[in-house]
Amino acid sequence: MAKIQEEVSRRKTFAIISHPDAGKTTLTEKMLLLGGAIRSAGSVKARKSKKFATSDWMELEKQRGISVTSSVMQFEYEGYKINILDTPGHEDFSEDTYRTLMAVDSVVMILDVAKGVEAQTKKLFKVCRDRGIPIFTFINKMDRHGKDPLELFEEIEEVLGIESTPVNYPIGMGPTFKGVYDRFTKTIEYYGEDEEESTFVSVENYTDLRKQLEKSADEETIEKLMEDLQLLDEAGNPFHLDTVKEGKQTPVFFGSAISNFGVPTFLQHFLQIAPSPFPRESSAGKVNPTDKVFSGFIFKIQANMDPSHRDRIAFLRICSGQYEKGMSTWLERTGKQMKLAQPQQFFADSREGVDHAYAGDIVGLYDPGVYQIGDTICGTKELFEFGDLPQFPPEHFAKVRPKNALRHKQYVKGIQQLAQEGAIQVYRTPKFEDTILGAVGQLQFEVFIYRMKAEYGVDLEMERLSYQLARWVKEGEIPEKAYYSSTSMLVHDYVKRQVLLFKNEFSLNYFLQQNEGITLTESPPKDK
Ligand code: G4P
């Protein structure tokens, strides 16, 4: 097999999505331990708490019990090269999370067995389904009492609108939890308490399974398992690889991440089933991950990743070809040739320079301010671009200014840098150049205020505005009386395009009725 083909097929790039507290940190940590990327449990937590101690912004995360940053972790396991993209576990960060999902080839969703499908997971799920991203489900905390597994499948199907197919099935739950029965390999995986390693016993058939379990489980637990397995065989969804790959069926696994139970077997199945990088659509047609020409796109920009370094990192998802140190590339948006500046890969607790990288890999580029989210980078002068990343129109608006006018320079720099990350949009009023912020979720304002103070030393004064909709002016002249009325406000975006803010749908429709010949759009035209 050609080198590039071999490298691409051993790459698995995925995101873990979950509601806060379902066990994402714990599961990630166990996977990193398996891959030898960290040596002791608690490292990921420790990393989290170190950040808490050094940044007020992270302090906000702690108070809210959320994770604001998305990070990338790479490690090797059983010959596979794994890239895990962390996603913030809060709906207010949906825009950032959605964009991260564009850079993965599959998604692992963690559910807490006691809580099932929670509201925030629903939103993320919809994005995966709409984009046809394969989803794997890990139902966690089986050592605790929770919902009936069949009820959980129903929830997944009803609430999320996707078929579920259990690869393994729990034997008991909480105090009666004995392990799982793997329906694929006909193997019992016994749960060893206190993080003891699992023991495995193969069985021939259900009679054999029952016989084995009689040694350790109570009759009620065995009876329930046998009934459920039979029901699944007769009325459940049979596993179908193509349906999984289309994102229409989710393979379900059970486990207890805290005691590492079910994690290695989950990972083994996942690595076999989950797709490696697949072709992506571009303006020049399908781009194959094994194509010789290098290409990728920027899906995330983050300023001040490390508060002690004050650096800005643009995250590039490689879609084809091979990255080699010192190679020339072109930025599609500007047509300019550029060397990729010191690309880095991210491990559990360190970053390292990259010499080679392939489709599926995520590399971090130092960004002196040249990149924008959605940029395509090509290894050839015959430029092409990947489709636009989804944009989510802001629904919350606020006017801001620095409390201390002497900090104006830092204020301008902070606003510019944080806006480039794409978490918040910045507008100005035409006459007085007041700064108006737009965000998808309210919490983004709080994070913004926090970061402006922690990273740029600027205290902000903020006044919430009661607008809910932003529309770009596509055609027509806006009458001056509509610049600022009781229901609308005209502002300029960062490239001086006109944007109208409206209080609600009613005021938007009224405006359109009154101003024939004006066309408005929900998303800005692409900035060249
Ligand atoms: P998150 O990143 O999704 O927010 O969740 P995290 O892994 O931090 O886990 C949330 C809580 O759930 C933690 O408890 C963690 O120990 C616990 N947990 C994770 N997996 C399991 C599991 O399989 N079984 C049980 N019983 N608990 C689990 P905590 O009290 O908030 O933190 P800690 O004091 O344990 O660190």
Domain ranges of the chain: 12-70+105-273, 280-378, 396-521
Looking at ligand 1, which residue's alpha carbon is closest to its atom 17? 23
Q: Which of 117-126, 137-146, 212-221, 243-252 has the lowest mean pLDDT?
A: 117-126
- Cβ-count burial 245-272 (b if 16+ within 10 Å, e if not): bebbbbbbbbbbbbbbbbbbbbbebbbe
- Ligand 1: centre distance to CA 127 (Å): 26
CATH number of the structural domain 12-70+105-273: 3.40.50.300
Query: How confident is the model over 61-115, as pLDDT tens digits?
Result: 444 433 334 468 888 999 999 999 877 655 554 567 778 888 999 999 999 999 9
Residue 61 amino acid letter: E
Confidence of residue 285 (pLDDT cuts 50, 70, 90): very high
Q: How far is the CA of 21 from the centre of ligand 1 (A)?
A: 6
CA distance linking residue 512 with residue 113, whole number of Å: 49
pLDDT for 224 equals 96
Tell me the CATH number for domain 280-378: 2.40.30.10
**CA–CA dist 2, 180 (Å, integer):** 39
Percent of the residues in the chain that have a pLDDT greater than 70, as a whole number:
86
Q: Evaluate: CB of 113 within 6 angstroms of ligand 1.
A: no
- Please report the atom of ligand 1 found closest to the CA of residue 45: 36
Contacts of 211 (CB under 8 A, 6+ apart): none
Cα 503–chain centre separation: 31
Which residue out of 16, 18, 21 has the highest number of ligand 1 atoms within 8 Å of its CB and is therefore the one to mutate? 21
Closest CA to 447 of 351, 300, 348, 303: 303
Fold of 396-521: Alpha-Beta Plaits (3.30.70)
Residue nearest to atom 4 of ligand 1 (CA): 21
Q: Where is pLDDT greater, at 193 or 168?
A: 168
Distance of CA 22 from the midpoint of ligand 1 (Å):
7
pLDDT higher than 70, residue 49:
no
How would you classify the pairing of strands 11-18 and 80-86? Answer: parallel
**In whole angstroms, how far apart are CA 280 and each of 211, 320, 450?**
50, 9, 38
Cα 187 to ligand 1 centroid, rounded to whole Å:
27
Q: 205: CA distance to ligand 1 center in Å? A: 35
pLDDT at 106: 96
- For the CA of 19, the closest atom of ligand 1 is 3
Atom 31 of ligand 1 has which residue's CA nearest to it?
Answer: 21
- Pocket flag, ligand 1, residue 64 (CB < 6 Å): no
Q: Is 26 in the pocket of ligand 1 (CB under 6 A)?
A: yes
Mean pLDDT of 253-260: 95
Q: Is 109 in the pocket of ligand 1 (CB under 6 A)?
A: no
